Amino acid sequence: MIKFAEEFIRTSPLELNHYIAHRFLRIALILFFIVAFAKEAWSQLPPIIWDNIPKSDLELTPDEQKNSSDAIILCDYGTATYEDVRGEYRLVYFRHTRVKVFRQEGTRWANISISYNKGAGDEITFLKAHAYTLQPDGKISVTETRPDEFFEKASGDGDVTVTFSIPGVFSGSVFEYSYRIVSSDLLNMRSWKFQRVLPVLWSEYRVQLSGIYNHVAVLHNVTDSLRINQKMEGVSDLEAGTIGYARQNDLIRIPVTTGRYVMTNIPAIKEEPFMGPLADYLPEIRFQLYSVTFPGKEPVRFIQAWDDVAVYFLQNQAFGGFISEGRLLNEVLKKIGKLPEKPAEKVEVIYRYVVSYFRWDHRYAILPDKNLQSFLNERSGNSAALNLLLTGLLKQAGLKANPVLISNRSNGKISDKIPLVQQFNNVICWVELASENCFLSALDPDRPFDLPDPDLYNEKGLVLRPGRAQWIDMPSPPPAVRNMVISLRFQTEGTMFGFIIIREKGEFALARKKEIMLTDVAAFSQNLLNNLFYGLQVDSFSYKELNPQKNESSLTVSFSSRAWLNQFTNKNIIYFEALLRNLLFRMNLPPVERKLPFILPYPVEETIVAVIEIPEGYEIESLPDEENISLPDNKASFQMKVSGNEEVAQIKSMLFLRSTFFSPSEYPYLRQFMNMVSAAQSQQIVAVTEEKR
């Protein structure tokens, strides 16, 4: 209004008539289009309005909803629209969430965290929160969250988290908060998850699907029909300068389509141990940009097929430059030195160089955060930068290597029905060798080249080749293998000697190596023995990486006890576990009815052989029972063999968990199986003196 008044004062009488006519014509047009758009696209009012909380919500009780939760989300409402923000075209997200607290324990849900990427140019605006409480006298108290009660914490990668606690929240209160996030990323529309850790009565997302930037919407994990799934036609009016047109003050009318998506009465999702990521179960709507259409110009095709994904990424200099910059890649190869002739050995040498000289910043990404030259100078970057460098070096060395877009297990499964780039979160390398093909990820220097993190094995990946994309199945993760020999020799005078040899491969060996690196072999060996048997002390120890490239290791610990007999009050009867359980693979499986699958990160193979020599003057009275159990389809099996005489016992335990996936209906059988394994492995050997017999 101030700007309008200043222009009005400076205008001459003759110009004034033209000015008023032109200005008010524009205002009339804007109002007309706003009204038209409101009637068409936003004909439905928002499901909730700020500061308008019905008394019925304040009086709501959990019995009315037949809900045992300590709080419930009355409404979760969001929008995504393209708007003029301070003269610039921006993608604006709005969210308004209202929560009813049933019990005092539910007040914890008033501790809120909101994240946005300030490093990418995003900003959060119009953040507000308050709580309503119905008092015993019928009056309603309102508690506002002050601006100084919002706290921001930034991370090194540009992510910012805003945290706040809404004051005045008690049992029976209703609180709500809302905010806008203004994003300069016009290409990637944020998805919307309908289900939350609290029950949700109404969840709604309204999205501008078409206009200048045109998106396709894809439902993910939605098993039932949406309560509302509709498209509304309307118009949006922008000044030409907002989208870069020369005639700054002209109004441009853009037809738009808005999608409205609603789910209601959604139960809370409860996390369960070994369930995999929540993203695999949450009903969600995702969006993929398929074209960009500026007024008066032909549409620019973006991604409409999977082959378009390959073209987009490989022609994107930020991505493809890591593979095509031959001069820079040759300079790196010269630093590596002469490469072996055999392809597999060549892969290993280049891989080892990348993981040794470049550091991962612990961020997964599908686009590098810097160009190749900057990355080579700084020697640090995200997962895309490291793995694209590895891919480029392998290609430059004459190997068949290509980048692969994947979604880590922790990020959720991939759907190949419609090309959606946003479902990927990582890039790895695929190398085709004559002997076998292998997947590589150069993020962890402790991992050999052929043992990627189990989090990467997520069913399928999209190989990017020039001009085309190819889906390939990810292999199953290799088993973690442990072979153990335990020797115990007891003597009558109360001394005991023994040793443990633990040979491991894969994830078991890697975990053991990292544990030892946190301390030293001597301290680790003593800690290992502390909970195994009475009064053990380390006599000698040895740790060797039998094959570091294959993650194979061997730990040998010799030990003794000078007072093992002192733990027994009646020394005519001695007893001890046939197997040292604290060394064995264990899973804590609670007796619950699961609603979600049980997923292990990798298969397990464990074999233990224990040889136990009874002291002179004692005879073995009882040995453990033999066992031979398995699950259907041979998903898991366990066998325990027992042999011996009056003086020496030998026990062999063999556990195989071949499958990593167990459905909710299979979980009770898996739990029973593991309980039987634990019971068998905890059986004791009992020995008595001759006079006791």
pLDDT of residue 549: 67
Please determine, looking at this structure, whether the domain spanning 480-689 carries the CATH number 1.10.10.60: no
- The CA distance from 151 to 164, in Å, is 6
Mean pLDDT per segment of 10 residues, for the chain of length 693 residues? 32 36 39 40 78 92 72 97 91 97 95 90 95 93 95 84 96 96 93 94 96 92 90 88 73 91 94 87 93 88 93 93 93 94 92 95 92 94 96 95 95 89 94 89 89 91 95 92 92 86 93 87 86 81 82 91 79 82 81 90 95 88 93 96 89 95 95 93 87 63
pLDDT of residue 587: 84
What CATH architecture is 41-301?
A: Sandwich (2.60)
Phi, psi of 385 (to 5 degrees): -65, -50
- Cα pseudo-dihedral 62, 66, 69, 73, rounded to 10: -80
Fold classified for 306-473: C8orf32 fold (3.10.620)
- The CA distance from 495 to 498, in Å, is 10
Per the CB < 8 A criterion, the answer to whether 360 and 341 are in contact is no
Contacts of 458 (CB under 8 A, 6+ apart): 406, 407, 408, 409, 411, 413, 414, 474
pLDDT of residue 536: 83
- Element (DSSP H or E) covering residue 404: strand 400-406
- The CA distance from 568 to 575, in Å, is 9
pLDDT of residue 41: 46
Per the CB < 8 A criterion, the answer to whether 498 and 611 are in contact is no
Q: What is the 3-state secondary structure (H, E, C) of 411-460?
A: HCCCCCCCCCHHHCCEEEEEEECCCCEEEECCCCCCCCCCCCCHHHCCCE
Phi, psi of 515 (to 5 degrees): -65, -45
pLDDT of residue 65: 52
**pLDDT tens sequence across 107-154:** 999 999 999 988 788 999 999 999 999 999 989 999 999 999 999 998
- The CA distance from 500 to 612, in Å, is 12
pLDDT of residue 66: 55
Domain ranges of the chain: 2-35, 41-301, 306-473, 480-689
pLDDT of residue 9: 30
pTM of the model: 0.83
User: If 0-12 CB within 10 Å is exposed, 13-18 middle and 19+ buried, where does residue 431 land?
Assistant: buried
Per the CB < 8 A criterion, the answer to whether 585 and 502 are in contact is no
